[in-house]
Amino acid sequence: MSDAMNNAARYRAQRDAGELPESEQPAEAPMVLNAQNKSEFVETAIQLAIRQGVFDDLPGAGKPLEGLGTHHDPDWWIRRKIETENLSGLGPPALMLRVEDRGLDDDLDQLGREEDVRSVLEDFNRRVIEARRQLLGGPPVVTKTRDVDAEVAAWRERRTAARAIADTDAPERADAQPRRRRGWWRRSA
């Protein structure tokens, strides 16, 4: 007798006896996660993933974990996110003003008009004073306000020095003759 005939005979016998065939058995209810079986479910999912090779060749495999053995920082995750995403502009005003104060001269050197320099300095001073008045707590504001007139004078001096350097480099560039370019239709030998 063939397998198909055996299966048909078994089906008829089960039906006549009042039993449901295996294919028509009611399906088991899906597992409901609760406190008792949650760990079993998680462990089963991990074991299945290991068998399927999901964890093979992960980046950092065989390397020590970063930050182990150092002091405990409860905000480690947000610091790492800021570093990896290269986020800026986040943090308490006291710290942000310190960072801005360090690079303010370079930012001012990028400006071309005295009015723009004055407005940037006035805005910076306003934000420093505002941060000193804050009542929310946080680190103290140690950033000093800048004297607008003195900063404008320093900006002018840096600007004239940069122009003088550029003017001394200009004759050297003018003396150098540009290289002749060959046309695209000529091939080099």
pLDDT for 84 equals 84
**Under 8 Å between Cβ of 141 and 94:** yes
Q: Rounded distance, CA 54 to CA 68, Å? A: 25
Is residue 119 within 8 Å of 113, Cβ to Cβ? no
Q: Could you tell me the mean pLDDT of each successive run of 10 residues in the chain, 189 residues long?
A: 78 78 62 80 91 88 76 76 77 83 90 92 93 78 90 92 82 58 57
User: Which run of H or of E encompasses 15?
Assistant: helix 3-16
Predicted pLDDT at 171? 62
Q: Residue 143 in contact with residue 98, Cβ under 8 Å? A: yes
pTM beyond 0.85: the answer is: no
Residue 153 has a pLDDT of 94
- 134, 178 contact by CB (below 8 A): no
* CA–CA distance, 186 with 188 (Å, rounded to integer): 7
